[in-house]
Structure 1
Amino acid sequence: MDAGPQKATPETTRMVWIDYARGLGVILVVYGHVLGGLVRPGIFPDGALARWMDYTLYTFHMPLFFFLAGLNVQHSLRKGARPFLESKLWTIAYPYVLWSLIQGGTTMLLARDANIPIYPSDLAAIWFRPIAQFWFLYALMICHLVAVFVPSRAVLVSLAVAGFAVFLMLPIRPDLALTLHHLPFYVAGLYGARSMAEWRPQGWSLLIAIGAAFAVAVALGGHLSGMDANGLASLPACVLGIAGTVLFCRLLDPAHHRWLAAVGIASMTIYVLHILAGSGMRIIMLKAHVPAWPWLYLLAGTAAGVVLPLIAHAALRRLHLLTVFGLAAPGRRKPQPVPIAPRVATSDQAPV
């Protein structure tokens, strides 16, 4: 029996904000990738505006996901290391391989229309060299393995700091570099989960202050780093961007914004499909001779990159195929709908 709308409480507020944050984060991911896909062929001018938008997004939106991913790890590990790893093999490693092959194969078939070509040798090397956006799943799986096999807090924090220093100082492979860069944010989520659960922000004045500080940090960091979003000078903008996103989502009323929670719950599906959807929209518009108005293509591509995967997620859920495609953990035949006050995604939900 439906109990009716739930009254918002501090507990439900604490639980829903992660879905909101994932929803906002994955929308930014889609926007950034669509923008990049338009700059390369010259549809969107490669000028100061595009470069600053790109820099601003990339200072914090992927570190945000690693921070969010770390929040639930200690709770999940209480069930034991083996169940935890089995869950991650299914919800991270399996979709990494499956969707790398699907997207890579599709890109090879559409080679003439692809901005970045994919070759069979690239697909054969996904075991140690991820392609496209799937570096995130590759790096996240490494972070989970590190969390399991390095249980000491002091050692793990030291490893994260040392890895970040290596990333900044030494030229290393891109996949390893991205892992080392994002491990500290994962560790911050891992050991900051209790504080986040107990935090009860009040009012919007702090968010305004963080927003202003973020704008200053972006401006300074961009100039000092040479527009390197992963550089040391960009770290303040990264931290402030994560803090601002988290605070904004904590302040949202959990009885509203169901659409954003739905986007967050389907974030894995959006993440693995958005390149195909957004690039497909660009290709279709070009072949249909739609005038190459930059903002039209940017908004249409972003909308397609979010909405089409959402539709696919709903269809696969109805057909009980989310697990088959690595978009939900096994053993859950009836995925839970988005409630009035959605609960936080657990460890067997989309890690994005």
Structure 2
Amino acid sequence: MTEQTVQAPTPTRARLLWVDVAKAFAITLVVVHHVVTFAKAPGWLPDAVVTLNDQAATVRMPLFFLASGLFAAGALSRPWGVVARKRVLFFAYLFLLWTVLRFALFQVVPDVRPHGLDGDLPALLRSPLLPGTGLWFIYALAVFSVLAKATLRVSVAVQLAVAAAASAVVGSERLWIDNLAWRNMATYYVFFLVGTHLRRHVEAFAARVTAAATAGLAVAVAAGSAVVLRADLETVPGVRLALSCVAVAFGVALAVQVARVPGLNGVVAGLGERTLPVYLLHVPFVAAAVALLEAVLAPRGTAGLLLVPVLTVLAGAASLALHGPARRRLPWLFALPGRRRVVLL
């Protein structure tokens, strides 16, 4: 795809190549996060890797929700019945179905995490109101769709101000929400709104950003993260939100640069178009691999460090490989029963 095609901001175009590239970045960071979460439990990873993964939180889900908001903008302008069926019911169905499937899988697959809730029966029963697993992102998309549709006639400035205030206070943990899912939703809703309501501005930024500006944003994110970490500023309201805004701008800019590279752009965007199966399927693969390795090898040091990229690639590839046959034989795993079309994240 040419640079001109990447840059042209037309609201009627179904997909933007750089947005799919950004989604590929986000889902990769999600898989890395879960690999680190499982691998750090038995003590395989050095503290630096765990810290780096924690710092990636400033871009991981904010970028994912921004991209989701960009694709949701058109859908949310449809009548309530369409929104309820295609976004609310669809995501709620996937969340409930896969929460049950995860519970069943984790009765067989060992969970090395000390506080993992995928196989916990009380957590399963609470999940419709208090999601307790990594599937909370699916839940959030249903909730965000309801909120964004219900407030469609409210001033965008007011919506963004309220969401940003919630993100600043909850993200800094000045207001503590015990449930991870609801805490994250309060923190990241503002990025979904930016994608939904400020799509033209986001596309205009993507159209203008240069390689030099991308490098500058990378330096700003690295320096900002180092300062925040060293000075322990994460509990200052607004600091994490500001850093996330810079990190998301960098994520968008980097996605644009990759989208301008022939050959590479198609491969990366192809992953971005298939985030749903990776999101739903990768955790059981990671859990099983880590449990097996802990029983057989118990990797430490360099071996444990190499495990992160290797297991990230293998879990993603296995998820995509399983998705095709599963979708053909059991389409209800990825779509509402009776509707074979799969809506990808």
Structure 2 counterpart of 1:182: 188
Q: 1:163 to 1:234 in 2, by over 3 A?
A: closer
Equivalent in 232, 238, 254 of residue 248 of structure 1: 254
Please state whether the residue corresponding to 2:106 is helix, strand or coil.
Answer: helix
Distance (whole Å) between structure 1 residues aligned to residue 227 and residue 57 of structure 2: 15
Listed one character per residue, the Cα deviations across residues 109-167 of structure 1 (whole Å, up to 9, x for unaligned) are 33465552532111111111112211212222211111011111244224313423552
Matched, 1:316 2:323: no
How many residues are matched? 326
The offset of 1:182, in angstroms, is 0.7
Question: Contact 1:30 / 1:274 at 8 angstroms: preserved in 2?
Answer: yes
What's the Cα RMSD here?
A: 2.6
Q: 1:327 to 1:18 in 2, by over 3 A?
A: farther
Question: Contact 2:87 / 2:142 at 8 angstroms: preserved in 1?
Answer: yes
Distance (whole Å) between structure 1 residues aligned to residue 308 and residue 204 of structure 2: 39
Structure 2 counterpart of 1:147: 148
Distance (whole Å) between structure 2 residues aligned to residue 316 and residue 60 of structure 1: 31
Distance (whole Å) between structure 1 residues aligned to residue 312 and residue 208 of structure 2: 31
Amino acid at match of 1:262: G
Q: 1:192 to 1:278 in 2, by over 3 A?
A: same
Please state whether the residue corresponding to 2:208 is helix, strand or coil.
Answer: coil
Amino acid at match of 1:96: F
Matched, 1:289 2:288: no
Question: Contact 1:214 / 1:237 at 8 angstroms: preserved in 2?
Answer: yes
Unaligned runs of 5+ in 2: 9-15
Please state whether the residue corresponding to 2:186 is helix, strand or coil.
Answer: helix
Listed one character per residue, the Cα deviations across residues 218-272 of structure 1 (whole Å, up to 9, x for unaligned) are 10111233667x9633333311221111111112226422221221111111111
The offset of 1:281, in angstroms, is 1.7
Please state whether the residue corresponding to 1:172 is helix, strand or coil.
Answer: coil
Q: 1:324 to 1:259 in 2, by over 3 A?
A: same
Structure 2 counterpart of 1:222: 229
The offset of 1:55, in angstroms, is 2.4
Question: Contact 2:169 / 2:238 at 8 angstroms: preserved in 1?
Answer: no
Distance (whole Å) between structure 2 residues aligned to residue 166 and residue 241 of structure 1: 19
Unaligned runs of 5+ in 1: 1-6, 334-347
Listed one character per residue, the Cα deviations across residues 56-110 of structure 1 (whole Å, up to 9, x for unaligned) are 2112211111111111233112332221221113431111111111112222333
Amino acid at match of 1:234: R
Equivalent in 195, 199, 205 of residue 193 of structure 1: 199
Distance (whole Å) between structure 1 residues aligned to residue 237 and residue 34 of structure 2: 20
Structure 2 counterpart of 1:326: 334
Structure 2 counterpart of 1:305: 315
Please state whether the residue corresponding to 1:160 is helix, strand or coil.
Answer: helix
TM-score by length of 1: 0.83
Question: Contact 1:55 / 1:227 at 8 angstroms: preserved in 2?
Answer: no
Structure 2 counterpart of 1:33: 34
Question: Contact 1:30 / 1:302 at 8 angstroms: preserved in 2?
Answer: yes
Q: 1:325 to 1:16 in 2, by over 3 A?
A: same
TM-score by length of 2: 0.85
Amino acid at match of 2:120: Y
Structure 2 counterpart of 1:170: 175
Matched, 1:276 2:284: yes
Distance (whole Å) between structure 1 residues aligned to residue 125 and residue 140 of structure 2: 18
Percentage of matched positions with identical amino acids: 19
Matched, 1:209 2:209: no
Question: Contact 2:3 / 2:260 at 8 angstroms: preserved in 1?
Answer: no
Distance (whole Å) between structure 2 residues aligned to residue 282 and residue 164 of structure 1: 34
Listed one character per residue, the Cα deviations across residues 296-333 of structure 1 (whole Å, up to 9, x for unaligned) are 3223321222111111123234x264x41125896455
Structure 2 counterpart of 1:71: 70
Please state whether the residue corresponding to 2:107 is helix, strand or coil.
Answer: helix
Structure 2 counterpart of 1:59: 58
Distance (whole Å) between structure 2 residues aligned to residue 233 and residue 241 of structure 1: 12
Question: Contact 2:41 / 2:113 at 8 angstroms: preserved in 1?
Answer: no
Question: Contact 2:111 / 2:287 at 8 angstroms: preserved in 1?
Answer: no
The offset of 1:42, in angstroms, is 0.8
